Amino acid sequence: MKFLVDRCAGRKVSDWLKSQGHDVLESSSLGPDPGDRELLEIAARQERILVTIDTDFGELVYVDRVAHWGLIRLPDVPAERRIKLLERVLSEYETQVASRAIITIRGDRVRISQAGE
């Protein structure tokens, strides 16, 4: 799978995804922070699932209807915990991730939904 990892999600998350064989683009490699809307648009253009801990993306997707290629919103917890949660999502919900779902993790709860483009 292809991912765009927001700088707030962390380099350890990026490194872990790469170690699992995924194609990963780190937002920090794009230069100065382009902003949430632009990150979401870049991810959609490149057919990448955006991985973030930022909650602002929900409004962009659900209210502003910004196009996306899927979104995984992790909680703001230590990187090792984020990686474990992401590992669980990719293992248990691979089909939904691949189908451009919006996946939000809060605590140990996983919410999956689809949003129009």
Residue 115 has pLDDT above 80, yes or no: no
Q: Which two tokens stand for residue 82?
A: 């984020």
pLDDT, tens digit, for every residue of 67-76? 899 999 999 8
Domain boundaries, the chain: 2-113
Read off the pTM: 0.91
How far, in Å, CA of 7 to CA of 33, rounded?
9
Q: How confident is the model at residue 48, as a pLDDT?
A: 97
How far, in Å, CA of 21 to CA of 100, rounded?
19
Residue 117 has pLDDT above 70, yes or no: no
Rounded to the nearest integer, the mean pLDDT of the chain is: 91
Q: Where are any strands of DSSP class E within the chain?
A: 2-5, 23-26, 49-52, 71-73, 102-106, 109-113
pLDDT, tens digit, for every residue of 61-106? 888 888 899 999 999 899 999 999 999 999 999 999 999 999 999 8
